[in-house]
Amino acid sequence: MNPVLYDFKRAFIRPATIIALAVFILVGIGLSYLVTISLSMSAGAIYPMFIAKLDVETGEFTVYYVAYDSEANPTTAHVEIKFLFGMAESLEVVGTFTFNAKGYRVFQASLDSDVLGLLSEKPLFLRVASSTPFGFMDMTMMFLPINNKTMSAFSGGIFFSNDKAVGSILAVGIAFLRNSELIITLLSELPSEGFELYYALSSGSGEAGFDEALLAGNVSTGLTVFRINLSELGVNITDTTMVTLYLKDPEGVTYTSKPGLIVRVETGVTQRRITNVVAGSAGIGLFSQFFPIVVLYLAYTLVAKPKGMGALEFLIARPVTRLEIYVTRFLAGVLTATVSTGVFLIALNSSVFLLTGYSIEASNMLILFLGIAGSLIAFYSVCYMVSTILSGGRYLAVSIFLYLFFAMIMDILVFITALLMYGFTPRLGDELFKMQATAYYFNPLGSTRFATYYVSPENFPDVPVVNPYLVVVAGVAWTLVPAVAGWILFRKANLSK
Run of H or E including 110? strand 105-110
CA-based radius of gyration for the chain: 32
b/e per residue, 329-344, with b = 16+ CB within 10 A?
bbbbbbbbbbbbbebb
Q: Which of 26, 43, 215, 320 binds another protein (CB under 8 A)?
A: 320
Angle between helix 362-389 and 269-279 (nearest 10): 20
Question: Closest approach of Cβ 317 to another protein, in Å?
Answer: 5
Closest to another protein by CB, 32 vs 387, is: 387
Binding mask 268-307 for another protein (x = CB under 8 A): ---------------------------------x---xx-
Closest to another protein by CB, 144 vs 315, is: 315
Closest to another protein by CB, 234 vs 319, is: 319
Stretch of 224-232, 356-364, 394-402, 487-495 contacting another protein, by CB under 8 A:
487-495
Q: Which of 33, 210, 314, 405 binds another protein (CB under 8 A)?
A: 314
Closest to another protein by CB, 45 vs 304, is: 304
Closest to another protein by CB, 118 vs 493, is: 493
Q: Alpha carbon of 325 to those of 202, 238, 318, 328: distances in Å?
A: 74, 66, 10, 5
Total residues contacting another protein by CB under 8 A comes to 27
Q: Which of 13, 19, 214, 311 binds another protein (CB under 8 A)?
A: 311
Question: Closest approach of Cβ 496 to another protein, in Å?
Answer: 7
Distance CA 374, CA 380 (A): 10
Stretch of 312-320, 339-347, 427-435, 446-454 contacting another protein, by CB under 8 A:
312-320
Q: Which of 335, 372, 455, 495 binds another protein (CB under 8 A)?
A: 495
Question: Closest approach of Cβ 483 to another protein, in Å?
Answer: 20
CB within 8 A of 255, min separation 6: which ones? 160, 161, 162, 167, 168, 169, 246, 247, 248, 249
Distance CA 343, CA 331 (A): 18
Distance CA 161, CA 244 (A): 12
Closest to another protein by CB, 178 vs 322, is: 322
CB within 8 A of 252, min separation 6: which ones? none
Stretch of 102-110, 132-140, 319-327, 482-490 contacting another protein, by CB under 8 A:
319-327
Using CB under 8 A as the binding rule, whether residue 316 contacts another protein is answered as yes
Q: Which of 147, 143, 151 is nearest to 91 (CA)?
A: 143
Question: Closest approach of Cβ 451 to another protein, in Å?
Answer: 34
Q: Which of residues 3-62 bind another protein (CB under 8 A)?
A: 3, 6, 10, 14
Burial (CB < 10 A; 0-12, 13-18, 19+), residue 27, is buried
Q: Which of 55, 313, 361, 430 binds another protein (CB under 8 A)?
A: 313
Question: Closest approach of Cβ 385 to another protein, in Å?
Answer: 20
Stretch of 35-43, 214-222, 271-279, 488-496 contacting another protein, by CB under 8 A:
488-496
First to last CA, the chain: 28
Using CB under 8 A as the binding rule, whether residue 318 contacts another protein is answered as yes
Distance CA 364, CA 357 (A): 17
Using CB under 8 A as the binding rule, whether residue 236 contacts another protein is answered as no
Closest to another protein by CB, 8 vs 125, is: 8
Question: Closest approach of Cβ 324 to another protein, in Å?
Answer: 8
Closest to another protein by CB, 15 vs 468, is: 15
Q: Which of 317, 426, 462, 464 binds another protein (CB under 8 A)?
A: 317
Distance CA 126, CA 149 (A): 18
> Which long-range CB contacts under 8 A does 466-475 form with residues at least 24 apart?
466/437, 470/441, 471/441, 471/447, 474/440, 474/441, 474/442, 474/446, 474/447, 475/374, 475/378, 475/446, 475/447
Report the C-alpha dihedral over residues 433, 438, 439, 441, rounded to 10 degrees: 130
Using CB under 8 A as the binding rule, whether residue 310 contacts another protein is answered as yes
Question: Closest approach of Cβ 294 to another protein, in Å?
Answer: 16
Question: Closest approach of Cβ 13 to another protein, in Å?
Answer: 12
Q: Which of 321, 363, 425, 459 binds another protein (CB under 8 A)?
A: 321
Run of H or E including 334? helix 322-356
Distance CA 177, CA 67 (A): 16
Binding mask 238-267 for another protein (x = CB under 8 A): ------------------------------
Using CB under 8 A as the binding rule, whether residue 497 contacts another protein is answered as yes
Distance CA 4, CA 307 (A): 18
Binding positions for another protein, rule: CB under 8 A: 1-3, 6, 10, 14, 301, 305-306, 309-311, 313-321, 491-492, 494-497
